[in-house]
Amino acid sequence: MNFTTILGDVWMPTSASTVADDTDAVFYFIHYLSAIFLVAIVAATIYFALKYKKRSDNDKTSPIEHNSKLEFWWSFLPGLLLVVMFIWGFDIWLKLQVPPANAMNVRVTARQWTWQFDYPKDGITAGELVVPVNTPVKLTMSASDVLHSFYVPEFRVKKDVLPNRYSVAWFEATEPGEYNVFCTEYCGKNHSRMITRVQVKSAADFEAWRETGGVPPGTSPAEAGKIFYKSFGCNQCHSSDGTANTGPTFLGLYGSSHGLTDGTTVVVDDNYIRESIEIPGAKVVAGFQPRMPSFKGKIKDKQMVAIIEFLKTLSK
Amino acid sequence: MSGSYGNEGEQSYLSRKGFLTWALTLDHKRIGLMYLGAVLFFFLIGGIMALLVRTELLTAEGDLFSGDNYNKIYTLHGAIMVFVFIIPSVPAALGNFLLPLMLGAKDVAFPRLNLASWYIYLLGSAFLIFSVLAGSIDTGWTFYTPYSIGPSDNGNAIIAATLGVFILGFSSILTGVNFISTIHKMRAPGMKWMDMPLMIWALYATSVIQVLATPVLAITLLLLVFERLLGFGIFNPALGGDPVLYQHFFWFYSHPAVYIMILPGFGIVSELLTVHSRKRIFGYKAIAFSSVAIAVIGFLVWGHHMFVSGQSELSSTIFSGITFAVAIPTAIKVFGWVATLYKGSIRFTTPMLYGLYFIFTFTIGGLTGLPLATLASDVHLHDTYYVVAHFHYVMMGGLVIAFIGGLHHWWPKMTGRMYNIKLAAFASVLVFIGFNLTFFSQFFLGSQGMPRRYHAYDRVSESLQGTYKFWHQMSTSGSYILAIGLFITLGYLLASLRKGGTRSPHNPWGGVSMEWLTATPPIEHNFEGQPVCTHGPYEFPEIDKSAQDKH
Ligand code: HEM
Ligand SMILES: [Cu+2]
């Protein structure tokens, strides 16, 4: 539809999926129609209000009470238009409900307040969604705590993520680039921080990304650790610059010694870090809530080593 | 209509003084006035919360409040506005005062229940206030599970708030029962159903929903409390419960509740547009019955809040279809109001200005319901600012604009005073401009993808962040203009009550429905003797009866 481009910038963000243009078409159809109705209603109101403004105390007003013909038509015609909207919207929506059989599978886990994307075939886990352009992608989603919702405005795709069932969404990106992934179901304190990115890559770039497990070739362990620190969403709660947050900062953490909630002290070494990641509740640092989810089985050995190397670069 | 004006005989309902004459009063007019004071107080508090929220969103960073505090403030804003301001505003405050007067009755059918409903309302409000003191809730006014039943630092606050809303429900039910009985049994002799002012029809439809839907909310909230305290496992997925079930329960009440909120507004606007244009309403029956139709169909559309929630595709399809059906009676009303102006003699009084604003703002609110009812576009718009804009256009632009218009229309009747007319017209323009700037901006925010209930948007990628910031700043500027308009309004209304404030003429707008038959302000027992209804509510002397047959 071409009229999408006229108002495209004001109303809708870039369209970057196969369904986006269809959705926009029905969106604009309803909005243009609404604009016509609104203008007609406002024009009639203003015209009547000015034309029949009180002139004198002797004004006479019309005794008219109703007009069946008029009333019939102004119910019937809008009614027809409503049927068109319903069917049009339903038709596009059906497409959204049925992922193509050849779609690439990605598992999505949402938790307060991070996203995790697993590529089962490749054993990759990432905090950003990376997908090839022009390929249908099927997301099978679940939450590990409260309700969340997966939303990419540029794709016009949204689906709630629930703790007690799998929900499914799919899209086929049409434009390489980087877009926002929003959580759109209120999920508590850091709801507005639960934003990550979807990177749409060309087929070749995606292949390269996949081959190296999501890390560019030639990356040092510490640099890879920094990527994982972000991609697993550790940075949502642990700063790397000393700022206080939901969890202790990583700056100067490695090698330091810590008071725990049970009164004992512990020195932060490789073993303590591994334990904290896999069984976060075992030793909780004094002054913090046991809020961290377990990453056991999610963070692989090599990734664990990389993260520890990264932490070492932050020690004092 | 015949009946005496009662100016000399009995005393005004306001003349007896003393705390107990109010605290123990069975007079619907005094109860209405007490409700009015309370709802205006809560409107003020809820409004201040809204300004805090808007101010936080001026910048992309969450720099004014912490995330927790922001969530508490917006939750409080929503909960106060919905449960203790909008729902009781027209029925319990204006409706209580007007309903018996408009019917030519001496009081409501059950004056004691009426007083009881007031105290239950106070008790419920007290629970809400207590919940604020106990740490305040951060669940949103929708209390979605499992967030609302999960670990929280404010568990007690959540329980207090849900119990508060539970209790408030009973006050709402009692008012509803009272109105239904009064309308059935206490209409003045001669008043047939089709002679009732449309305000009464609207209150009737509202009452039916209140009585039928509120118990479901009550049960839902009670289950929520049990779930928190005893771990029932109905809504808690960790115990095998289902959060989507909670949403079904919640919206089964809360969608009809949006009609509890708007139908009384339809009633008020029908009165404003007729009286101030000296015309009969266009399509009395269509407007009366469409209120009832909306009330009935409104029970069958709750699932349109859940298109992306994980309910079945079949349910979504059915709910989408039925939602479109509600739009038809809504359109019929709007067309009828516009046609009412045709060949009238229109006075641009403040109540009339609000009536005209309503046509504009409510139409936008209704029309923007359509892309939300459409499955494909709702997927994009759900839980964004587009929805926020939509429901503020219907609730603030619809109900609240009508409420303020009605307040200006019946203020003389209630208080015997007239406010400063020039200031009122000026303030109304500020309200109109401020309102539209605030909420129209939010349509753009929403269609561009800005999620609702976000404390900050600094993590949004640069390209969209700039757009969001621009519209957020427009919206916040609008909210300040709106606030100034409303504060001026509060100021001149209160000023009119001071000693030596301007006395209102007996019937300043020339109304011909029965509330204008008695003194201004009314006498304690409303009417001297039983008034008799001899004509419809819109038979103004200006109507050119000689032209009757030409149509
Ligand atoms: C033509 C009439 C209307 C239609 C077709 C309509 C349609 C809708 C739809 C489909 C939604 C759900 C959107 C979503 O969550 O994605 C919605 C939300 C809402 N509507 Fe309407 N609506 C109409 C009129 C009204 C009226 C008259 C009111 C109240 C006075 C109202 C109040 C609300 C509220 C409060 C919400 C959102 C509640 C929340 O999520 O917090 N609507 N509307
Ligand atoms: Cu609804």
Residue A6 pLDDT greater than 60, yes or no: no
Do B282 and B242 touch, CB atoms closer than 8 A?
no
* A23 vs B: CB within 8 A: yes
- Predicted pLDDT of residue B1: 37
- CATH code at A190? 2.60.40.420
CA B408 to chain centre: 16
- Predicted pLDDT of residue B4: 39
Best CA proximity match to B269, nearest among B341, B332, B392, B351: B351
Measured in Å, how far apart are chain B's first and last C-alpha atoms? 26
Distance CA B269, CA B409 (A): 10
Q: Hey, which residues does A142 pair with through a beta bridge?
A: A109
> Stretch A27-35: mean pLDDT, rounded?
96
DSSP tag of B417 = B
Residues in contact with B69: Cβ distance below 8 Å, sequence separation at least 6, in sequence order: none
CA B541 to chain centre: 32
- In terms of domains, do A186 and A146 share one? yes
Helical ranges in chain A per DSSP H: 4-11, 20-51, 68-97, 203-211, 221-231, 270-278, 301-314
- In terms of domains, do A227 and A210 share one? no
Distance CA A298, CA B24 (A): 66
CA distance, residue A164 to nearest chain B CA (Å) = 5
Do A199 and A129 touch, CB atoms closer than 8 A?
yes
Structure tokens given for B330: 């809504």
- Predicted pLDDT of residue B355: 97
**Type and span of the H or E element at B122:** helix B111-133
Residue B551 pLDDT greater than 70, yes or no: no
* A230 vs B: CB within 8 A: no
Average pLDDT over chain A, rounded to an integer: 89
Q: Hey, which residues does A158 pair with through a beta bridge?
A: A151
Residue A142 inside a domain? The answer is: yes
- Upper half-sphere CA count for residue B412 (Cβ side, 13 Å): 22
Domain that holds residue A238: 221-313
Q: Which residues of A touch B325 (CB under 8 A)?
A: 82
Please indicate whether, in this complex, the C-beta atoms of B283 and A74 are within 8 angstroms of each other. no
Residue nearest to ligand 1 atom 34, measured at CA: B391
Instruction: Supply the pTM of this predicted model.
Output: 0.90
DSSP tag of B83 = I
> Stretch A243-252: mean pLDDT, rounded?
86
- In terms of domains, do A168 and A31 share one? yes
Q: Hey, which residues does A152 pair with through a beta bridge?
A: A157
Nearest residue of A to residue B347, measured between CA atoms: A54
Could you tell me the distance, in angstroms and rounded to a whole number, from the CA of residue B254 to the centre of ligand 2? 7
Please indicate whether, in this complex, the C-beta atoms of A59 and B542 are within 8 angstroms of each other. yes
- In terms of domains, do A206 and A233 share one? no
Residue B324 pLDDT greater than 70, yes or no: yes
Which of A185, A214, A243 is the last residue before a domain boundary? A214
Distance CA A307, CA A300 (A): 10
Which of A187, A214, A241 is the last residue before a domain boundary? A214
Could you tell me the distance, in angstroms and rounded to a whole number, from the CA of residue B262 to the centre of ligand 1? 11
Confidence at A240, pLDDT banded by 50, 70, 90: confident
Residue A248 inside a domain? The answer is: yes
> Stretch A211-234: mean pLDDT, rounded?
80
> Stretch A40-59: mean pLDDT, rounded?
93
Average pLDDT over chain B, rounded to an integer: 93
- CATH code at A303? 1.10.760.10
- In terms of domains, do A160 and A231 share one? no
Best CA proximity match to B418, nearest among B341, B528, B495: B495
> Which residue type is seen at B131?
S
How many domains would you assign to chain A?
A: 2
Residue A1 inside a domain? The answer is: no
* A27 vs B: CB within 8 A: yes
- Predicted pLDDT of residue B397: 96
Q: Quick check: ipTM above 0.90?
A: yes
Q: pLDDT > 70: what percent of chain B?
A: 97
> Which residue type is seen at B480?
Y
- In terms of domains, do A207 and A242 share one? no
Q: Hey, which residues does A183 pair with through a beta bridge?
A: A150
- In terms of domains, do A34 and A154 share one? yes
CA B65 to chain centre: 29
Distance CA B407, CA B354 (A): 10
> Stretch A185-212: mean pLDDT, rounded?
92
Structure tokens given for B226: 């049990």
Could you tell me the distance, in angstroms and rounded to a whole number, from the CA of residue A3 to the centre of ligand 1? 27
Ligand 1: nearest atom to the Cα of B378 = 16
Nearest ligand atom owner, CA of B326:
1
* A184 vs B: CB within 8 A: yes
Structure tokens given for B332: 């019929």
Chain A and chain B share a number of CB contacts under 8 A equal to: 278
* A98 vs B: CB within 8 A: no
Nearest-5° Cα angle at B249, B244 to B255: 110
Which of A183, A214, A245 is the last residue before a domain boundary? A214
Confidence at A302, pLDDT banded by 50, 70, 90: confident
Backbone angles phi, psi at B15, to 5 degrees: -75, -30
Distance CA B295, CA B202 (A): 10
CATH numbers and ranges of domains, chain B? 19-538 (1.20.210.10)
Structure tokens given for B160: 């207090």
Measured in Å, how far apart are chain A's first and last C-alpha atoms? 59
Task: Identify which of B253, B266, B364, B391 to mutate to test ligand 1's pocket (most ligand atoms within 8 A of the CB).
Answer: B391
Query: Using one digit for the tens of pLDDT, what is the confidence trace for B139-166?
Result: 999 999 889 988 777 888 999 999 999 9
Confidence at B8, pLDDT banded by 50, 70, 90: very low
Do A277 and A304 touch, CB atoms closer than 8 A?
yes
The residue whose two tokens read 């969209």 is B464
Q: Which residues of A touch B140 (CB under 8 A)?
A: 186
Task: Identify which of B83, B394, B403, B442 to mutate to test ligand 1's pocket (most ligand atoms within 8 A of the CB).
Answer: B394
Best CA proximity match to B398, nearest among B419, B368, B443, B430: B368
Q: Which residues of A touch B331 (CB under 8 A)?
A: 74-75, 78
Confidence at A135, pLDDT banded by 50, 70, 90: very high
- In terms of domains, do A103 and A163 share one? yes
Do A152 and A166 touch, CB atoms closer than 8 A?
no
Could you tell me the distance, in angstroms and rounded to a whole number, from the CA of residue B86 to the centre of ligand 1? 15
Nearest residue of B to residue A86, measured between CA atoms: B374
> Stretch B222-228: mean pLDDT, rounded?
89
Could you tell me the distance, in angstroms and rounded to a whole number, from the CA of residue B369 to the centre of ligand 1? 6
- Predicted pLDDT of residue A8: 55
Residues in contact with B487: Cβ distance below 8 Å, sequence separation at least 6, in sequence order: none
Residue nearest to ligand 1 atom 6, measured at CA: B369
Which of B215-219, B422-426, B515-519: highest mean pLDDT?
B422-426
- Predicted pLDDT of residue A5: 46
Q: Which residues of B touch A23 (CB under 8 A)?
A: 376-377, 379-380
Residues in contact with B410: Cβ distance below 8 Å, sequence separation at least 6, in sequence order: B94, B97, B98, B515
The residue whose two tokens read 């979807």 is A198
Q: How many residues does chain A have?
A: 316
Distance CA B472, CA B445 (A): 8
Confidence at A209, pLDDT banded by 50, 70, 90: confident
Residues in contact with A141: Cβ distance below 8 Å, sequence separation at least 6, in sequence order: A107, A108, A109, A110, A150, A159, A161, A166, A167, A168, A169
Confidence at A3, pLDDT banded by 50, 70, 90: very low
Do B115 and B25 touch, CB atoms closer than 8 A?
yes
- In terms of domains, do A179 and A242 share one? no
Omega before B146 within 30 of 0, i.e. cis: yes
> Stretch A173-186: mean pLDDT, rounded?
96
Please indicate whether, in this complex, the C-beta atoms of B374 and A86 are within 8 angstroms of each other. yes
Query: Using one digit for the tens of pLDDT, what is the confidence trace for B460-514?
Result: 998 899 999 999 999 999 999 999 999 999 999 999 999 888 999 999 999 999 9
